Amino acid sequence: MKTIGLALLLLLPVSSPAFAQSTPSESTDAAAPSDAQAAFDRIKSLAGSWVGRLTTSPPEPTVDGNFAQFSLRVTSRGNALVHEISVSPLPDHPLTMFYLEEDRLLLTHYCDAGNRPRMVGKLSPDGKTVEFDFLDLSGGNQYGHMHHAVFTLIDENHHTEEWTWMMPGDKPVRVRFDLQRTNFGSNAVGQ
């Protein structure tokens, strides 16, 4: 009997009222996206592979000029962006997740220092920059933590990322990545 009921459910036409859904084009009150959603959409437009060199301020000779590879991938049906960095020849491989929570764009940075700072992002009025300010920190702060990030979108195939690391004693170290897309023409947001 259960098998027959399941078979009947599977045979119901998709257009039945039980399964009907409106599409955005059918809505008469199409609201503009929130500021957080607009910022998230801009960040997701960076999905793809990127390469570039890093510079530090104050200068840090052991890493200045090193080559970096970035992978940004939209996941969870468009609800998150995974951001991975690999800096040659360092063994570091931090991971950052971008996502919406209520009406805020958040990032959680899973740091090689063993902590997880969270930051809140805001889109600039011109739509070219998303700036993230420190919110809170989970895990230890013995070695410092990532404290600030700025993503500047130059064009479809170029962007910069500036990350501020807060050393113990509140001494900032800034790292800037000048990045170029390696998969030109394939900035489609996969879900």
pLDDT digits (tens, 9 = 90+) for 60-97: 998 899 999 999 999 999 999 999 999 988 787 899 99
Residue 19, in any domain of the structure: no
Q: Which stretch of 29-38, 121-130, 170-179 has the lowest confidence by average pLDDT?
A: 29-38
Beta bridge partners of 47: none
In a domain, 168, yes or no: yes
138 within some domain: yes
Is 26 a member of any domain?
no
In this prediction the pTM is 0.80
Number of domains in the chain: 1
Q: Is residue 17 part of a domain?
A: no
- Is 117 contained in some domain? yes
Q: How far is CA 56 from the centre of its chain?
A: 22
Which three-class secondary structure string do you get for the chain?
CHHHHHHHHHHCCCCCCCCCCCCHHHCCCCCCCCHHHHHHHHHHCCCEEEEEEEEEECCCCCCCCCEEEEEEEEEHHHCEEEEEEEEECCCCCCEEEEEEECCEEEEEEECCCCCEEEEEEEECCCCCEEEEEEEEEECCCCCCEEEEEEEEEEECCEEEEEEEEEECCCEEEEEEEEEEECCCCCCCCCC
The structure tokens listed for 188 are: 């489609």
Say which CATH number the domain at 88 has. 2.40.128.20
186 part of a folded domain: no
- Which residue segment(s) compose the domain that 125 sits in? 34-181
Tell me if 111 is assigned to some domain: yes
Range scoring the smallest mean pLDDT among 15-19, 175-179, 181-185: 15-19
